Structure 1
């Protein structure tokens, strides 16, 4: 099961510069111990269903075509993060999910703890194997998506041109209006604040105490203008569509999904690696 981002939306500014991308999620088997794996296999035998954690929204668009093609129902479990529940299931020795999206930064520790079952690549057809890079095919997980953060603004609010970067996002006099930033995890919002503070992208990592202080100082400046700290990927585009935001940080995939569904046009700038 793979997820591919669409590159057919120049409104998102992909042609302005090369997008720095990083793997942001892993589709991983959530069985952990032999006994638990056997229990899960027994439960699935003949049930014709698979339980999958996802972030909701566009992540679930593949489920109906998948079910239609193979006859297996996908039971969708939606939350902001999978890791706490996966760890709890591992500790309890009872696994209720079959697959889960795991943030790449959390994968090594969970892998070392033996939380995932090996992926049987002999079950893949040749086309699927060739279509997935070898470095994305890990022993017990598959890299399934890449993402970038964008600065999205309402073209109707700024018909003469809106903010072009994160420094502009912080300029409330030149670009007035309600802002939106992500609430959790902070690793997405902190780099944006550092870029707004004038720190070059190449110097953001590793985060140090003085960089964190600098980021929080910038966030304190913009805080009165943030009307809502969004937590789900689909929130930012929807609140832009509703007119509750003049501009917001957003995931490129969520913006693309909104365009596909015929959302009013808004513009994306200020790409940043997540």
Structure 2
């Protein structure tokens, strides 16, 4: 930690913290387990505070419905959901320049902290498959997710439009840099849903991020769309599961603070702690989500239990190759109602 950053941190910690415990809201599964060890437990040990972890489905609407009544303080959110929640007044203003030094702010990548959110990790939505299902030719590109003749069997897919619309256009040959522009048009949406229609009868829907890897492990699906960290966790346990990095969609997860929190100073202290390079590196060593600070990368070593070098498994590792999309958070925030409406209409046509 740089001296100037340490000085800012000392000012923040000098604020008297109230006696109440903190409630941190996360996603469950291997990801939450890694967070508990890498971020939450060190914060509790350093401050003497007790931290309760709650779970939710990642949506701003869950924050609106449950945040105040359940006493949520700090929330792990997708960047686009935090953008919507911020606009709706559900999140506390963070004042990043008071929480971080100028040098620390310039250390964040690819996005800096804003008025309601502090970037914490980069994840990827990827395709994975059960190696046992394809003893010969293996899937290698995102087009193979839609090719049920060469690669027959059920596909595990999140029950919603996120990610699959981008993949559908990539499978149609649309260059990555044109995907979001095309999805902003009716023609682009119709093209994406037309491609999705080709696998309608082969889809197994999931709603919990831990499900796709489990579906592969249990043999219920031969391919699955999900988050890279969940798949790597299952693969390291011995499951013959392979990840296809082509077409990966890299997104940013952020820390945000509920506007209804009773402990804003303690919540800001937690976010500042979690945004330290060493905290980000500890998390990346336990689950392969890339840190959002440049100085954290050099700190990432081996998985503390398996001894696996973790840098190679990060979603933005250069050796993965293939096509890559960076999730357009503004597009996601601005098209939420439209995407949901079009997706529900598409589902209804198959009932």
Partner residue in 2 for 1:63: 36
The answer to whether the Cα contact below 8 Å between 1:152 and 1:249 also exists between their aligned partners in 2 is yes
Name the stretch that deviates more: 200-209 or 56-65. Answer: 56-65
Superposed CA RMSD in Å reads: 3.1
Distance 1:258 1:120, change over 3 A: farther
Q: CA deviation at 1:122?
A: 8.8
User: Which of 233, 246, 254 is 2:222 aligned to?
Assistant: 246
SS in 1 for 2:198: helix
Partner residue in 1 for 2:92: 117
Determine if the alignment matches structure 1 residue 81 to structure 2 residue 81. no
Distance 1:241 1:210, change over 3 A: same
**5 Å matches for 1:197-216?**
197-206=172-181, 207=183, 208-216=185-193
Question: Normalising by the residue count of structure 1, what TM-score does the alignment of the two structures yield?
Answer: 0.70
The answer to whether the Cα contact below 8 Å between 1:241 and 1:263 also exists between their aligned partners in 2 is no
Distance 1:112 1:223 in 2: 35
Determine if the alignment matches structure 1 residue 272 to structure 2 residue 245. no
The answer to whether the Cα contact below 8 Å between 2:209 and 2:227 also exists between their aligned partners in 1 is yes
Q: CA deviation at 1:224?
A: 0.6
Unaligned runs of 5+ in 2: 1-15, 250-326, 328-351
Partner residue in 2 for 1:179: 155
**5 Å matches for 1:122-141?**
129=104, 133=108, 135-141=111-117
Distance 2:142 2:29 in 1: 26
Q: CA deviation at 1:150?
A: 1.5
SS in 2 for 1:244: coil
Q: Once superposed, which parts of structure 1, at least 4 consecutive aligned residues long, lie more than 6 Å away? A: 120-126
Q: CA deviation at 1:142?
A: 0.6
Q: CA deviation at 1:209?
A: 0.8
Question: Normalising by the residue count of structure 2, what TM-score does the alignment of the two structures yield?
Answer: 0.56
The answer to whether the Cα contact below 8 Å between 1:157 and 1:246 also exists between their aligned partners in 2 is yes
Partner residue in 2 for 1:72: 49
Determine if the alignment matches structure 1 residue 46 to structure 2 residue 19. yes
The answer to whether the Cα contact below 8 Å between 1:149 and 1:272 also exists between their aligned partners in 2 is yes
Distance 1:149 1:85, change over 3 A: closer
Distance 1:74 1:258 in 2: 27
Partner residue in 2 for 1:236: 212
Distance 1:212 1:121 in 2: 37
User: Which of 164, 174, 199 is 1:189 aligned to?
Assistant: 164
Partner residue in 1 for 2:82: 107
Q: CA deviation at 1:79?
A: 2.0
Partner residue in 2 for 1:97: 72
Q: CA deviation at 1:256?
A: 2.2
User: Which of 120, 140, 152 is 2:128 aligned to?
Assistant: 152
Partner residue in 2 for 1:7: none
Distance 1:95 1:140, change over 3 A: farther
Distance 1:130 1:172, change over 3 A: same
Q: CA deviation at 1:102?
A: 2.6
SS in 2 for 1:193: helix
Partner residue in 1 for 2:6: none
